[in-house]
Structures are given as structure tokens and as C-alpha cells.
Amino acid sequence: MATTDTAPQMGAVEPVAAPPPFAWKGVLAVSLGFAAVMGIAAARINFFGDELYFLAAGRRLAWAYPDQGPLAPFVAHIMDLIAPGSVLGLRIPALLLMAAAAVVSAATARELGAAPRYQILAALGYAVSPLAFDQIQLITLTFDIPLQALIVYLLIRWVRTRQDWLLIAAGVAAALAFQAKWMVPGVWAMLGIGVLIAGPREVLRRPALYIGTLIMVVAMIPGIIWQTQHGWVESQMTEIIAQEQHAANTGPLICAIEIAFQCGLIGGLLSIFGLWGLVRLEALRPYRFALIAGLILLTVVLVENGRSYYIAGFWPALLGAGAYALGTVEAKRLIARWVNAVAVLSAVLFTVWMIEVPVTQAWIPLPKSLTTKGPITDQAQYWIRESWFGPDGYTTFTSAVNDAVKSLPESERANTAVVAAAYVQASALEEFGRDYNLPPIYSPNRGWGYFGPPSDSARTIVYLSVDGVGDKDFLSKFASTTEVRKINDPNGLPGLERLMTVYICRDPLKPWSEVWPGLQTLTFPSGI
């Protein structure tokens, strides 16, 4: 395929002197339009477990939590005050941030010299991708991806303009990103390595870079203090996440396939052109630091068995590079027809997908392991089932716990608490138990364990177990335990609809303040 580099150049490797006009009307129409399309699915899919957890964490605001900073819980808390109990209300910030990531993709394309049509194409590539659908939830990646993309964009813009305030702005973005996820210092360092290898090394001599770095470091201090006080639980969570990935039958090859799948059709096409352009086109040479940093992060993710979306903060830059590179290809009329066809197909398929999820059993002939027709036997099936059909079972086990509480004598309820084996169960009980006036909710699992134990005056515990995962250890802490109800839909999600038991436990053998640390666990008890 013959190519020509048509971008204006100042020497062989200088960035474009003046970018094309920004197609802001088309970019906003695409970004916000598909955010609205995603809103159709956002209003229909039930709360995911981590969303419920962030609602609970938002009611117990802290400087840090075991696996994330305070940003997601804080935003969840604000949305819960504005629209309590609304799943769509909670997800509005997520939808807007997805649109923001699409805008950053287009803005990056403009910085690299892409014409307005290709800027819109970059926005579309992001907005109709499976990765965008992952951002339908209000979770850490909701903030992490657009903020990392913004950092890369600001550095790319600095390369073109040499405006040092952009480096300070990048530090502010990194400081905010740290409040969502602890990945950003590593990303910052990888970008530095990319600059050392590919340039422009001039940025390393700019005081503004170190001011931006200082802003990020200062913003890290409260979280570091929290981690120090809690035994650096973040390092333990990193190992547990890797174990969960292994349990889901992942590995470097599967992770790479997941990354490719997250790009979708038009996004995948732009990504291929972006890689080609960053390697081959002289006009994109000044920005190869981003490619090197992204490849370093990709290697770390694959080797450490991280999650596929950890690399996603670099994707908008790759889309931008692909949009520019696509515009340099000769025989544009033929290429444009194919690109237009892929873009339209991507938009149509994404729209249909948003209208149909959560799907019904008969919507598509999936294998039994991926539908509600068969039992779940591994973590991968769990995640696929939850994504296609949405989580369920919250109201069932909340009602069962409420029935157990109501069965207690009135005099006993005053010293009763509810303990759930899993943080998702505890979060759901707090959210869906609002109308039941349940006793205080506790869990020794993950972040809930750090919210604290029941009061030592709590002599009766209504315990919601995940069968076979720590239940015997918990029950052994009481003088007497009574099984009240089993929840075991054979085709349901483990820990939400299956392999659960409600117990009434009386007379703890030791005070809760003494027993609680030994019960705390960071491993999610899925029951699989």
C-alpha cells in the first residue's frame, strides 16, 4: 500500500506547526450522542457489585481504601445525594467521562495533524467500542482512563506548542487520577522512560515538568499515609487481582485478545493505522514517546497478569495517531468507502447492543455456560454472564436477611447486627435494605473490613454466608448458630443467587474488636 506523509513539517521530525481546525460540533455530537445511547443500557442494567460498594464507601469517606483512592466513592456519594437509589443517576458521570475520553481522542488526532473528518472518526472509534461499554459503570476505570488519556494528550500538545503550563496541567491531571487508582505514578514514570528513549528530551529540562510532578506527589501523601497505617494493603491487592485473573483462565494471550476485542471494529482499524503511523511516518516521530510508554505498560500488564483495561489510558492517543495516519493513505476514495462502511457498521451494532442489553435468554443462541440455562463453573463464565444479563439476586437475599431479623424477639433486635461474607453482599444489603430498616451492616471482606467491626454489644448476628468460603470459621466464633434459609438457584450467580445461607448466630465467644482482624480478608469469596 503506497503512502505519503502530507503533514506540514519543520524539518524531518518536527511536529505540525498549526493543526487543522477542531471539529468540535461533530466531535461533541458523536461523543455525547453515543453517551446518550449508552444511557439506554445504563438505565436498564442493575447495579454492579463495585458500584454498590462505592455507594457504601461514599457514606464512609476516607483518604484511601484498599484498592483505590477516594474519587469514585466521593462522586458516588454526591450522585446518591442528588438521585438516591437511581442506577441511571449514579452512572451519569460515567457516561460523561466516556464522552470526554472520546473528545480527547479527537483532540489528540487534531494535535497530530488529522483533518476534521478524521477527528470525528477518532471520537467515533472510542465511543462505539466495547471499552466504552465497560465505562457504563461508575468505577475506578471510569475516571482512570480519561485522566490518563488527558495526561498523554497534554504532553503531545506540549511537543507541538512548547507551552509549559501544559506540563503543570498534566501534573494536576495525574494528581486527580491518583485519587481514582494508584496506577498513575507508574504511567508517569513510563512516559518519562519513553521521552528518554525517543525524545523530545528537552521536556526534561523544563521546570514546569517538575512542578507538575511535585503536584502529583503532594496529592499522593494522604493516600500513602492511609496505606502506611493499614500495612500497605494495596500491595496485597495487586497479588490478589493477579490470582483472580488466573482464576478466570486468563494469561498473556487471553489478555492480549481482550485488549484487541475492546477496540471494536472501527477502533481496531484506527489502532492498526496508529501503530503503523507511529513507527513509519516522520510527522509522528516526535510523539513516539507515547508509543514506547504504552508498550512498556502493555508488557507489565501481560507479565504481571493485570487486567486488560489497564492499558486503555493510552488508547485515545493511538486512535488519534491512527486518524492522522489514515488521512495520509493514497487512493483515498477507495479507502474512504471501506472506512465509512466500517464506521457505520460499528455505530449500528453498538446502538443495537445498547438497546438489547441486558439480553433475554432467547435473544441469541449462546452456549449454556454463557446463559442462565446452565450453572457457572468458573470466574470467566461469571463475568460473561454478568455482563450479558446483568447482576441479580440483591432483593432476594436482602428480603431473606430481613425475614431473619423480623423473626427475632423485639428485645433481641436492639443488640443485633448483620454481617455479610462478601463486600458485594454487604453493599447490596445497605442499598436495597433502605426500606427494611435493617440493623447496621458489616463485612470482613475487602474495603468493608476496614469500615470496622460490629459493636462489642452486638450479641446476635444475622450472617449471610457464601457456602464453603470462610463460613465455618465465622460460625465457630459463636456459642450457637441456627440455619434460617438457603439461597441456591442452581443457574444463578454464585454469591448472589446461589451457594448462600442465612444464619442467626448468638453469643460471640470473644469481643468483636478482638475477633475482627482475624476474620478480615481481601480475597473475594465468589463461591466458585
Give the DSSP per-residue string, 214-230.
HHHHHHHHHHHHHHHHT
The yes-or-no verdict on residue 254 having pLDDT over 90 is: no
- Is residue 95 in a domain? yes
Residue 16: enclosing H or E segment and its boundaries? none
Whether residue 346 is found in the same domain as residue 479? no
Residue 351 CB partners (closer than 8 Å, separation 6+)? 37
- Is residue 405 in a domain? yes
Q: Domain boundary at 353, 381, 414, which?
A: 353
State the Cα–Cα distance between residues 318 and 194, nearest whole angstrom. 15
Q: Are 447 and 423 in contact (CB under 8 A)?
A: yes
Whether residue 190 is found in the same domain as residue 325? yes
Return contacts of 465-468, CB within 8 angstroms, 24+ apart. Answer: 465/421, 465/500, 465/501, 465/502, 465/503, 466/421, 466/422, 466/425, 466/494, 466/495, 466/499, 466/500, 466/525, 466/526, 466/527, 467/499, 467/500, 467/501, 467/527, 468/499, 468/527
Mean pLDDT of 46-63: 95
Percent of the chain at pLDDT > 90 equals 73
The yes-or-no verdict on residue 421 having pLDDT over 90 is: yes
- Is residue 386 in a domain? no
Please give the residue range of the domain that contains residue 210.
24-229+244-353
- Is residue 323 in a domain? yes
Whether residue 31 is found in the same domain as residue 95? yes
The yes-or-no verdict on residue 8 having pLDDT over 50 is: no
Lowest mean pLDDT across 21-30, 72-81, 348-357: 348-357
- Is residue 237 in a domain? no
DSSP-based three-state secondary structure for 359: coil
Whether residue 348 is found in the same domain as residue 414? no
Whether residue 306 is found in the same domain as residue 443? no
Whole-number pLDDT of residue 440: 95
Interval 292-316: pLDDT, tens: 999 999 999 988 877 889 999 999 9
- CA 131 to chain CA centroid, Å, is 10
The three cell numbers locating residue 63: 483518604
pTM of the model: 0.90
Q: Are 453 and 520 in contact (CB under 8 A)?
A: no
DSSP-based three-state secondary structure for 91: helix
Whether residue 334 is found in the same domain as residue 481? no
Per the structure, the count of domains in the chain is 2
Q: Domain boundary at 294, 328, 353, which?
A: 353
Whole-number pLDDT of residue 245: 66
- Is residue 375 in a domain? no
- Is residue 18 in a domain? no
- Is residue 510 in a domain? yes
Whole-number pLDDT of residue 372: 45
The yes-or-no verdict on residue 7 having pLDDT over 60 is: no
The yes-or-no verdict on residue 255 having pLDDT over 90 is: no
Whole-number pLDDT of residue 268: 96
Mean pLDDT of 490-503: 88
Whole-number pLDDT of residue 363: 45
Whether residue 78 is found in the same domain as residue 212? yes
Tell me the pLDDT of the chain averaged across its residues: 89
Whether residue 50 is found in the same domain as residue 163? yes
Percent of the chain at pLDDT > 70 equals 91
- 143 phi, psi to nearest 5 deg: -95, -40
The yes-or-no verdict on residue 373 having pLDDT over 90 is: no
Q: How many residues does the chain have?
A: 528
Whether residue 340 is found in the same domain as residue 415? no
The yes-or-no verdict on residue 113 having pLDDT over 80 is: yes
